[in-house]
Structure 1
Amino acid sequence: SGLDLIDNCGTGGDGLKTINISTIATLIASSMGLSMAKHGSRSVSSHSGSADLLENLGVNIEMNPTQLENCFKQTHFGFLFAPLYHQSFKKSAPLRKELFTKTIFNCLGPLINPLRPKIQLLGVYDKSLCKTMALALKALGVKRAMVVNGGGTDEIVLHDITHA
């Protein structure tokens, strides 16, 4: 159920070409027994999106629901590849890549995890989005959330101020 699932994701779109810290943190959290439901896609404006990173680690990013359930049971981790679950993401991916800039999909993606986790850590590309995205998560029924922007990235950082 979504009640005990956690999603840790970012909007992307900060344009800073950083590594995908949230996906690495998700893998660490799941190794500690937390049930992590990562929903994401390939990179548009960074070195690697969550799908790119996981695929390079050998993770099957195109799991069907049965495979996903088995993965959760075995590893406390599941990845939902956005283009498989949302046709609009699949159809818009080539255009988004060509535009090479953030679009409404950057903000929409983190809000539409099909498993509807009730706990979410969400990084946003601009600190001005923190409150708006927090209110959106609340309206969607997320019970606990933190929306962050660290040093101009959609991540929590140690080298600069992280806004929440």
Structure 2
Amino acid sequence: MLDAAYAWLTGDSTLSGLPLAFLLGALVGAEREWRQSAASLRACVLVSVAAAAFADLMATRVDPHNLGAAFGAIATGVGFLGAGAIMREGANVRGLSTAATIWCVAAIGAQAGAQEALGAVWLTGLVLLVNIVLKPVQRLIHRRRPRHASAEDRALEG
């Protein structure tokens, strides 16, 4: 029993990507939870771990010639999950960043499950960078962009 646990923890098992997927999904999820996003801590962890489990299953059980379709199935399935986060409010669309984050979390989990730990860590860093650093940049752009004239203003000018 201890030998099996040691093998699992040291990466001598195909399931070693699951703890990494859990940890990285929790990092992204904690940031999303802090910002009170719909992509909560638990949702990010569950998506990441599920993608890792599917990736592990595919990498060990699917014909290598069919791996593209198998990994595409993860992306498609998570795309439907992310679509549920997108809401239309009048002329505005909300939730695109949340949906994209969910998709990225699935990619992080898939990389961890496929034993691509470095790629999973790098992608996690990039997702956190986008969600933390680019948010204030986005606000700055929105505050400084020129206002578009309304149809009423254009009619008065014309």
TM over 0.5: no
Between Structure 1 and Structure 2, the one with more helix by share is: 2
Q: Normalized against structure 1, the TM-score is what?
A: 0.30
Normalising by the residue count of structure 2, what TM-score does the alignment of the two structures yield? 0.31
Q: Which has the higher strand share?
A: 1
Q: Give the number of the structure whose alpha-carbon radius of gyration is greater.
A: 2
